[in-house]
Amino acid sequence: MFSQQVYISRRTELKKNLKKGTVLLPGNGESGMNFKDNWYPFRQDSTLLYYTGINIPDVYFVLDIENDQEILFGNDPTPEEIVWIGPTTPLREFAEASGIKNIKPLSELADYFAKGAPTNKIHYLPPYRSETSVKLHKLLGMPIAEVNSKCSVSLIKAVVKQREVKQLEEVEQLRNAVNITAQMHTYAIQNGRAGKTEKQIAGDLQAIAIGGGGNISFPIILTANGQYLHNHASEKKLIDGELVLCDCGAETAMGYAGDMTRTFPVSERFTELQKQVYNIVLDAHNTAIEALKPGIKFLDVHLLASSRLVEGLKGLGLIKGDTQEAVSKGAHTLFFQCGLGHMMGLDVHDMENLGEPYVGYTDTLKKSDVFGLRSLRLGKELQEGFVITVEPGLYFNPYLIDAWKAEQKLSEFINYSEVEKFKNFGGVRIEEDFLITSTASKLLGDPLAKTVSDVEELINTSK
Amino acid sequence: MFSQQVYISRRTELKKNLKKGTVLLPGNGESGMNFKDNWYPFRQDSTLLYYTGINIPDVYFVLDIENDQEILFGNDPTPEEIVWIGPTTPLREFAEASGIKNIKPLSELADYFAKGAPTNKIHYLPPYRSETSVKLHKLLGMPIAEVNSKCSVSLIKAVVKQREVKQLEEVEQLRNAVNITAQMHTYAIQNGRAGKTEKQIAGDLQAIAIGGGGNISFPIILTANGQYLHNHASEKKLIDGELVLCDCGAETAMGYAGDMTRTFPVSERFTELQKQVYNIVLDAHNTAIEALKPGIKFLDVHLLASSRLVEGLKGLGLIKGDTQEAVSKGAHTLFFQCGLGHMMGLDVHDMENLGEPYVGYTDTLKKSDVFGLRSLRLGKELQEGFVITVEPGLYFNPYLIDAWKAEQKLSEFINYSEVEKFKNFGGVRIEEDFLITSTASKLLGDPLAKTVSDVEELINTSK
C-alpha cells in the first residue's frame, strides 16, 4: 500500500468533486472457475484499490459525503478459519493503513442500506461482474436488470478525473510493471525459436509476471498470426520464417499494469520484406511519440501515425494517391484496423469499466463510429500525468482483404493486386508506455530492443 | 474431444437414468477480472464438457427426454468478429463431433423456454457462478434467490452416477494430467532452493502446466508454511532448513485434472526429525494405498491411515494410549485436520459443485460433522473406475495446538509438552492419484520420487 496520506487525500478530493451523496464501492470477491471454491487468482476492483489500497476479497467501502463518514465493511477470519489459512492481517490494520476510522462486519451492511441510513443519493459504478450486480441488487433492492442503468455518472466522472492523472507513487508502480513486462519480452525474443509452441512461451512469460510478485495484466497474445488482433497463444509450433507478435504485460502486486508489444522473427533475422514492414511501423511509432505533449488530442496523434503508415505503404506499393486524403477516407484501416493506444494504470485499459465516453472522450469530443476510429479508445486531449500506450501496427488480415477487394472498397487508394501478395504476411505491432510530462512525454521503464538491428542482436546474444 | 460415440452414449445413459424432463446445461462464459473484457482463462462447465465435449464460451445444451430432442444453442462469430479473432471452428462442427443434430442461435433460447416448449420438468444443476444464476433467473423467470434451491436432485444423482466411474478415455486423459503434474513437482523439488520466493517457483510450475496445453487445475500451494492447509504461494523467500509443501496439479486441454503433493527440504537433505515425520506420513500413505479396492468405504481407509499416523506419533512421543481409541476420539485431528482424499476427474475435487452428500456420501452414509471427519470429502464405498487422491499429512498448526492445549483437549492421548516443541515444524503431505481397479488400485501416471532417499537423490541430480 501507499502511505495513509495518499488514500486520505484521494478520498478528500473525491468528496470535494462529488459534493453530495453516499459512495458505495463493492470490492471483488473470489471468482470460482469450475466450482465455487476453485478460484481464479483474486483481482480487487481497481477503484476500491485506488481509494483504499485494500487488496483482499469481500470488503465494501462506504463514503457518506454529507455526514463525512467513512466505513469499511468486512469480516476478519474466524479462529477456525485461521487454523486453515494461517495468520492474516486484521481488517483494523488495513483500515488504519488506509486512514479509515470505522469498521463494521458484513452482517451490518444490509441493515445500513435497508434502514435508509444513507438518505441521500447512493453513487455506485457500473458493475462488470455478475456477482457485483447480484450484490447491488440485493443491497439496494432494485431489479437486477436495472442495476447497470442506475449507476452514477457523476461518480464515474469524478473517479475518471482523479484516476486519469497519475501521481508520482503510481508512476513508480507503473515503471515497475513495465520493467517486469520488458523482462517478459526479452525472454520471448530470446526464446521464441522454431519448434516451441506459442503456449509454451506464453506460460514462461506468465511465470516471469508471477515471479515479479503480481500476475499478468491481461491474457497474453503470443502468436505467429498477429494479423488477427484478438488472437491469443495456441498449441501451434513456431516455424522458421514466421513473425511472432507478442503483446503482454505484468501487473505489480499492487495492481498497476504494464503493456508492451514486440514483433520478432522466429529465425535469427528478419527477411527483407519483414524488415521493410517493421520499419514502417517503427516510423509511425516514433513519429507518434515525438508528437506526445499536453494539449494535443490523441485522436490527432492517431491520425498522424496513420499518415506515416500510409506513407510507408505507398513506398511498398500497397497504397497510392494523396496521403491525407487516404487517411481521411480510412484507406489505412485495411491494414491498421484499431486505435493507436489507450490509458494505462490500475487497469491495462485504464478504467475501461467506467466507459469510453468518459475515459477516452469528452462531452464535446465523441467517439467516431466509422471503422478504425471506433476502435480508438482514447481521443481526447492529453494532460500532464496521463499514462498511455502507443501501439501502431500493420495487420494483413486475409478476411478483411478479401471483403474489401470483393467490393473494390477505396480502390482509388488501394493496389489490391499488390495487397494480395501480403495475405500470408501476418502482423507487426510495436508498443510502449509513456508518461505525459509538462512539455512532452517520457518512456516508462528501461528501454528494450526496438529497432530491427537491436532485436536481431538480442536474439543472438541469447545463443 | 473424444469420439462422437462417447458423447452420444453418455447422453443415452443420462436419458435412461433420468427418464423424463428437460435437462438444461448452461455453459460457462468468459469471466472478467477488472473489467468485462479482461478475461480470466476460459474454463468450461465440467458437466457440459462431459456430455458434449464442447469447450467454447456461451453455449447452452438442452436435452428434452420425452421428445428425444437435443439442441445446442450458441452463436458463430460474425464476419466482423472473425476479422478480429481469425478463423474459428464453426458450431456445426462442434455439434457434429458431439453427435448433436440441432443447432439454434442464442436469440431463440429465451423463446424456447418462455413459450413453454419444455412443458415437462426442467432439470438444471446448482450454479456456482453468479453469472449462471443470473442466466437461469432470466431464462426460467424465477427470483434469483430461488435459483439454487430449485435445482434438480435427480439430475445431480444421475450425473454423479455417470461421472464418478471413469471411462478408459478419461483415465488416459487423467494419466496425461498426472504426468504433467509430476513434471511440475520434479521441477519444484529440483529448484526449490534457498533465496527463491515461493511465488517465483509457483510461476514456473504454472508455466509447465500451460506448456502442457491446458493450465493449472487449482491455485498452486507452494509454501514453507505447510501447517496451514489453505496457504498458497507468497513473496516469502525460502530458507535452508525449511520444508516446502508443494500441492499442485495440471489440467489437460480437455479439462481433466491432476493433483499431487510432495514435501521436500530446501537444503539438500531432510533433517533427522523431518525424516521421521515424513516417514510416518509415507507409512500412512502406503498403508492406505494397499487398502484401496472396490467395496471398501473410503471412510475406513481414512481411519486406517489415521491409525498409522497415530502409531507414528506415538513413536515420536506426541501421542500416547490405545491407538484405536485415540483415532475414534479424534486425537489425530490435532495433526491431521482434513480428509485422506477426494474424487478427481474433470474437476480436481470432482463434481464438488454437485454437493458432497451426492458425490462423497450416500443416502445411508452421511458425512460426520465432527472436526476432522467433516473435512473428509469422500466416505462412501469405492467402485471400480473411481479415480481418487490419497493424501495423508501431518500439520503442526500452532493456533490449533494453542487452542487445544488451553483446554487440555484429549490430554489423555496427547503429550502437550512434547507437541509444544513442534510448533515451528511446518507440515508434511504426500499425495498421489489412483484408479480403482476390479481388485485393488493402480497409480495414475509415471512414479515420482516419494521416499526420503529418492527425493534427496532428485534434488542432487539437478545440480
pLDDT surpassing 90 at residue B117? no
Same domain, B183 and B155: no
pLDDT band at residue B173 under the 50/70/90 scheme: very high
Same domain, B188 and B273: yes
DSSP state for residue B73 in the 8-state scheme: E
Give B204's contacts in chain A (Cβ within 8 Å). 207, 211
Residue B1: closest CA among B77, B98, B138, B83: B98
Same domain, A191 and A280: yes
Same domain, A128 and A220: no
Among candidates A133, A199, A230 on the partner chain, residue whose Cβ is nearest the Cβ of B211: A199
The verdict on a CB contact (< 8 Å) between B130 and A128 is no
Average pLDDT over residues A30-37: 97
Count of A-B CB contacts under 8 Å: 175
CB atoms under 10 Å from CB of B364, counted, come to 6
State how far the Cα of B372 lies from the Cα of B355, in Å rounded to an integer. 18
- Contact in structure between A394 and A419 (CB atoms under 8 Å): no
Average pLDDT over residues A313-326: 98
Q: Quick one: CA torsion of A192, A196, A202, A203, rounded to 10 degrees?
A: -130
Q: How far apart are the first and last CA of chain A?
A: 40
Residue B186's domain is classified under what CATH number? Answer: 3.90.230.10
pLDDT surpassing 80 at residue A228? yes
Same domain, A203 and A109: no
Give A374's Cβ-side CA count (13 Å radius).
Answer: 3
Give B79's contacts in chain A (Cβ within 8 Å). 399, 403
What residues pair up with A393 in beta bridges, in sequence order? A429
Helix (H, G, I), strand (E, B) or coil at B117: coil
Distance (Å) from the C-alpha of residue B398 to the closest C-alpha of chain A?
8
Same domain, B358 and B210: yes
- Taking only the tens place, the pLDDT of each residue in B44-103 is 999 999 999 999 999 999 999 999 999 999 999 988 888 888 889 999 999 999 999 999
Same domain, B200 and B134: no
Among the candidates A163, A189, A223, a domain finishes at A163
Give B446's Cβ-side CA count (13 Å radius).
Answer: 9
| Domain total in chain B | 2
Class of residue B439 by CB neighbours under 10 A (exposed 0-12, middle 13-18, buried 19+): exposed
Phi-psi region of B99 (alpha: psi -120 to 50; beta: other; left: phi over 0): left
Pairing type for strands A215-216 and A250-251 reads antiparallel
Residue B459: closest CA among B240, B286, B258: B240
- Taking only the tens place, the pLDDT of each residue in A64-80 is 999 999 999 999 998 88
Among the candidates A120, A142, A163, a domain finishes at A163
Measured at the CA of A345, the angle between CA A342 and CA A349, to 5 degrees, comes to: 40
Reduce the secondary structure of chain A to three states and give it as a string: CCCHHHHHHHHHHHHHHHCCCEEEEECCCCCECCCCCCECCCCCCHHHHHHHCCCCCCCEEEEECCCCEEEEECCCCCHHHHHHHCCCCCHHHHHHHHCCCEEECHHHHHHHHHCCCCCCCEECCCCCCHHHHHHHHHHHCCCHHHCCCCCCHHHHHHHHHHHCCCCHHHHHHHHHHHHHHHHHHHHHHHHCCCCCEHHHHHHHHHHHHHHCCCEECCCCEEECCCCCCCCCCCCCECCCCCEEEEEECEECCCCCECCEEEEEECCCCCCHHHHHHHHHHHHHHHHHHHHCCCCCEHHHHHHHHHHHHHHHHHHHCCECCCHHHHHHHCHHHHCCCCCCCCECCCCCCCCHHHCHHHHCCCCCCCCCCCCCHHHCCCCCECCCCCEEEECCEEECCHHHHHHHHHCCCCCCCECHHHHHCCCCCCEEECEEEEEECCCCEEECCCCCCCCHHHHHHHHHHCC
Give B133's contacts in chain A (Cβ within 8 Å). 130, 134
Distance (Å) from the C-alpha of residue B353 to the closest C-alpha of chain A?
5
Distance (Å) from the C-alpha of residue B349 to the closest C-alpha of chain A?
9
Among candidates A79, A203, A347 on the partner chain, residue whose Cβ is nearest the Cβ of B211: A203
pLDDT band at residue B116 under the 50/70/90 scheme: low
In whole numbers, what is the pLDDT of chain A averaged over residues?
Answer: 96
User: Scanning the structure block, which residue is given the C-alpha cell 530446501?
Assistant: B266
What's the complex ipTM? 0.96
Among the candidates B129, B145, B163, a domain finishes at B163
pLDDT surpassing 70 at residue B148? yes
Q: Which residues constitute the domain of residue A142?
A: 4-163
DSSP state for residue B106 in the 8-state scheme: G
pLDDT surpassing 60 at residue A117? no
Residue B70's domain is classified under what CATH number? Answer: 3.40.350.10
State how far the Cα of A194 lies from the Cα of A177, in Å rounded to an integer. 29
Pairing type for strands B221-223 and B243-248 reads antiparallel
Same domain, B255 and B365: yes
Same domain, B334 and B421: yes
- Taking only the tens place, the pLDDT of each residue in A411-460 is 999 999 999 999 999 999 999 999 999 999 999 999 999 999 999 999 99
- Taking only the tens place, the pLDDT of each residue in B312-335 is 999 999 999 999 999 999 999 999
- Taking only the tens place, the pLDDT of each residue in B186-227 is 999 999 999 999 999 999 999 999 999 999 999 999 999 999
Interface with chain A: mutation pick from B25, B28, B31, B33, highest number of A CBs within 10 Å: B33
Q: Quick one: CA torsion of A410, A414, A419, A425, rounded to 10 degrees?
A: -80
Same domain, B141 and B40: yes
Measured at the CA of B196, the angle between CA B195 and CA B201, to 5 degrees, comes to: 160
Residue B290 has what pLDDT? 98
The verdict on a CB contact (< 8 Å) between B133 and A130 is yes
User: Scanning the structure block, which residue is given the C-alpha cell 456461451?
Assistant: B58
Give A183's contacts in chain B (Cβ within 8 Å). none
In whole numbers, what is the pLDDT of chain B averaged over residues?
Answer: 96
Same domain, B286 and B416: yes
pLDDT surpassing 80 at residue B462? no
Residue B412 has what pLDDT? 98
For B200, which residue in chain A has the nearest alpha carbon? A211
Residue A292: closest CA among A301, A281, A282, A284: A301
For B131, which residue in chain A has the nearest alpha carbon? A130
DSSP string covering B278-319, please? HHHHHHHHHHHHHH--TTSBHHHHHHHHHHHHHHHHHHTTSB
Average pLDDT over residues A234-259: 97
Helices and strands in chain B: count of H runs, count of E runs: 16, 15
- Taking only the tens place, the pLDDT of each residue in A204-215 is 999 999 999 999
State how far the Cα of A327 lies from the Cα of A199, in Å rounded to an integer. 37
- Helix, strand, coil shares, percent, chain B, to 5: 40, 15, 45
The verdict on a CB contact (< 8 Å) between B34 and A41 is no
Give A34's contacts in chain B (Cβ within 8 Å). 43-46, 128, 255, 346-347, 353
C-alpha cell at A234: 495456441
| Contacts with B79 (C-beta within 8 Å, 6 or more apart), sequence order | A399, A403
Give A222's contacts in chain B (Cβ within 8 Å). none
DSSP state for residue B187 in the 8-state scheme: H
State how far the Cα of A338 lies from the Cα of A458, in Å rounded to an integer. 29
Same domain, A60 and A156: yes
